[in-house]
Structure 1
């Protein structure tokens, strides 16, 4: 008999709606929903036929009927909900960026380990079948040794300092919003985490990062270049370059196809696996497998490596959000 898990969602924004739609398309629904605005919470519940509406977010964590909590709120709120959910013994799938910094993530990981529950970041890249297939192709050695990874992500956002992309009160900025995808893409192909990081940032009037260039290398001299912008649409393109060829992937956050070009003869090989439309379903399925005790650690070590990189980069920029101010750094 297949185990059925009850999911509760915190939040009612765009990604929460997309997840609810994905579940509905496969004959499922959230068990419960909670949010700060009761009118919007009730509207979300009605739209997706969710039976349980919580008056307060804290009620989610006290509900014995809830197996998995899906956190889909702005990332500066994540740690407070992670603390409460994990302490209550709930498994948690949390939207990216999973926390603001390394220290918050370490705390959350320790709580998850103590309570023996699954903690995971809702990063589509970790769960798309294409990447699992590509790792098999790379492992056979036909492409040779990894040399370089190039990743870009650009979005054109309305230049309004009050929206979430530019608002420091909502932990805005390119790095935590879109850079997390680019760095996750790079990390799944690198044999080791980077230990050398250089970056250049352009800040918005609000003080958050709006355009970024990053150069990284790891102990075995595999290199990565990353370009991010909130000012221009650019292809979500990743290129993974080996001695004997390279892999090119477009729309990499939810990719279902890649092209391998072999250097010696220019031969092209198309690798197709999975469906981009099912990206969130793959997350749900992998999460439930992990909760069930399957061999799936939800790439939490990769999540931690990416968080370490982003924390180090922001430390260098001296961009610190109000929730994480220290004596040595400047609040924006």
Structure 2
């Protein structure tokens, strides 16, 4: 297996791009444990050192700028196979780099020590008082609990790192798919002006987080508020099966384009907490654009194959779902009573629509 530097340089070469100065160390930063391991080479064999490098590549590659490149490789004919994401997907497969993810394993002893609970009291004004709009949306989905077309949400911002020095992020949302009887590792993408992250990044990020999550902790953590409620679901039964869900907005609309009915969040400017806010232009999200192409069997073939190979090497992954989140303006569901200041005029209930499911062939 190639080490971290060799693997990254190989992919950069495939897309005709030079590795920029200090880029490797910035993207593939090591935690203290890995640095200590690398400094004890006299006590380790070469194979063990390479194992650390392989893990480092898999755990951090989704953060590389090249994973978010749009358009076509420089100098190539503008055909679908020459898109950056297609070439990177093909290279991950042809050079057996996807197998690096098999080396990842959970490190955190307790994912649920954050004590997130759907019954906690929160003020809408304070909830909106952050620039991290994606995190606000994740919390609103958590407080709604059951989202039609998506599943039952029992945690948000689930931590994965063991120490502060780990580079791992947090899972946006954890849910339970009552129809397919599996847990959902949900990667949420949202920006009021339209998210521009590629599906390749979304897929690799969700897969990385799945590998760093210990599903058995869901069963054992009886003190977690969301899990307690999960156990009360009529159709719920703990399982070792899971799915990856890429959850995204279709588009952010200006007022004249129907933003009042369709926009996922209207109360998005902290200084104007009691007023609706709309973008100046209607912008379709990058994920929705690419998902429409992924549905077309003649496009995004390498990206689809990448999804199929992820499923093939993970016996407990049932499927990868691409889901668009929508404002549920017609819902009769009661608004979350634990959110003080929640308004039907300014705040949303949500539903979801699955645009594409790629199932495991197992």
Normalised TM-score (structure 1): 0.25
- Max Rg structure: 2
